[in-house]
Amino acid sequence: MTSARTVSRLSRILALIPYLLEGGPVDVEEVIDRFGYTREQLARDLETVPMCGLPGYGPGDLMEAYIDDDQVSIDAADYFTRAPRLTPAETLGLLAAGLAATGMGESSPALESAVRKLSEAAVPEAAGAVTVDIHETEDVAALREAAADGRVVRITYRSVGKEETTMRDVEPWHVFATLGRWYVTGHCRLVGAERTFRVDRIKELWALGDRFQRPESPPEPGVGYTASDDDVVCVIDLLPRALWVLEYYPVRVISESPGCVRIEFSAPDPEIGARLLLRLGETARLVEGAEVSERVGSLGRAILERHR
């Protein structure tokens, strides 16, 4: 799963690198103001940059990023000074990936423009001849039609988290595909809020006679976890080796310091938080959350019993 935090961080790094390469050493305060960083976030992102490069992984193969005398610098490897030359197979693969993204509703104006230019450059004599069709199931087609007509659908849905089956009336806004799966997002009348559903988890689907008014500016479609009032909430301190949790899970950061980040973690079941804590081991500490603490203890005892 890719969280919104990860996407935001990657976008920021991809904007930061060319800015520093073009401008040379830049004052730390200027970078913080321009990109909305804290000093801790800037330091973490700069630690990621030297991991980028081509095989060899020695001096001259990877990028260097550092802060020196309150100035931020990035030194690129020599091959970054030359425009990349793609092989025919690489060009076709890149074009196919772009066409797949635009066909799944994942595109932006910038991506559509890039795909169009790449197509014109790679196959100028056959514009439009290269297409990528994304397979649609009957449910996907029915949801698309309902979303276009403003018609409410009733679904029997098997949830991913609690593995519970419920019947819901949904006002579909967007039908889209990402990471190899189809999703529908819209207003769920059962909970009275926006929800995103995996289409392959829908067991039955009916289009109802009820119609709905689509919001003028519905949220952009995307996959993420939406906390509810019934969630089990706990507070966890993440030590430096556990900071990957911030990129992988949709958490709320309560406070940050150089050696610790305190987060609020929500899940539909205490088992989820308990299993995460067992996985993190000594790199995290549970601060609050009686239900999660109890489940950590029972899981720990079960593990010990199994290995006796």
Name the residue type at position 97: A
pLDDT score for 222: 65
How far apart CA 97 and CA 90 sit, in angstroms, is 11
How far apart CA 97 and CA 10 sit, in angstroms, is 19
Domain membership flag for residue 100: yes
pTM over the 0.85 mark: no
Pair (265, 297) in one structural domain: yes
CATH code assigned at 288 = 3.30.70
How far apart CA 178 and CA 107 sit, in angstroms, is 11
Pair (49, 108) in one structural domain: no
Pair (254, 288) in one structural domain: yes
The one-character DSSP state at 161 is S
Q: Token pair of 25, please?
A: 């050493």
Which of 181, 179, 191, 159 lies closest to 171, judged by CA?
191
Q: Hey, is 122 helix, strand or coil?
A: helix
Pair (12, 46) in one structural domain: yes
Domain membership flag for residue 165: yes
Domain membership flag for residue 109: yes
How far apart CA 63 and CA 52 sit, in angstroms, is 6
CATH code assigned at 166 = 2.30.30
CATH code assigned at 26 = 1.10.10
Domain membership flag for residue 218: no
Pair (105, 48) in one structural domain: no
Instruction: Specify the pairing of strand 181-188 against strand 193-198.
Output: antiparallel
Domain membership flag for residue 184: yes
> Which helix or strand (DSSP H or E) is residue 301 part of?
helix 290-306
pLDDT score for 77: 57
Domain membership flag for residue 133: no
Q: Tell me the CA end-to-end span of the chain in Å, nearest whole number.
A: 35
Domain membership flag for residue 75: yes
Whole-number Cα distances in Å, 76 to 31, 212, 225 = 18, 53, 37
Pair (52, 30) in one structural domain: yes
Q: Which of 69, 100, 126 is the last residue of a domain?
A: 126
pLDDT tens digits along 161-192: 566 889 999 999 988 876 567 889 999 999 88
Pair (144, 118) in one structural domain: no
Beta carbons within 10 angstroms of residue 241's beta carbon: 11
Pair (14, 75) in one structural domain: yes
Which of 92, 103, 97, 80 lies closest to 17, judged by CA?
80
Beta carbons within 10 angstroms of residue 66's beta carbon: 14
pLDDT score for 2: 47
Domain membership flag for residue 59: yes
Q: Which residue range forms the structural domain that includes residue 238?
A: 232-306
Q: Which of 81, 116, 150 is the last residue of a domain?
A: 81
Pair (161, 202) in one structural domain: yes
> Which helix or strand (DSSP H or E) is residue 286 part of?
strand 284-288
The one-character DSSP state at 58 is S
Intervals of the chain under pLDDT 50: 1-2
pLDDT tens digits along 126-145: 555 555 555 668 899 899 99
pLDDT score for 1: 42
pLDDT score for 212: 93
Q: Hey, is 223 helix, strand or coil?
A: coil
How far apart CA 230 and CA 251 sit, in angstroms, is 16
> Which helix or strand (DSSP H or E) is residue 152 part of?
strand 151-158
Q: Token pair of 303, please?
A: 């593990």
Number of domains in the chain: 4
Whole-number Cα distances in Å, 284 to 13, 47, 242, 280, 288 = 26, 21, 7, 6, 12
How far apart CA 303 and CA 271 sit, in angstroms, is 14
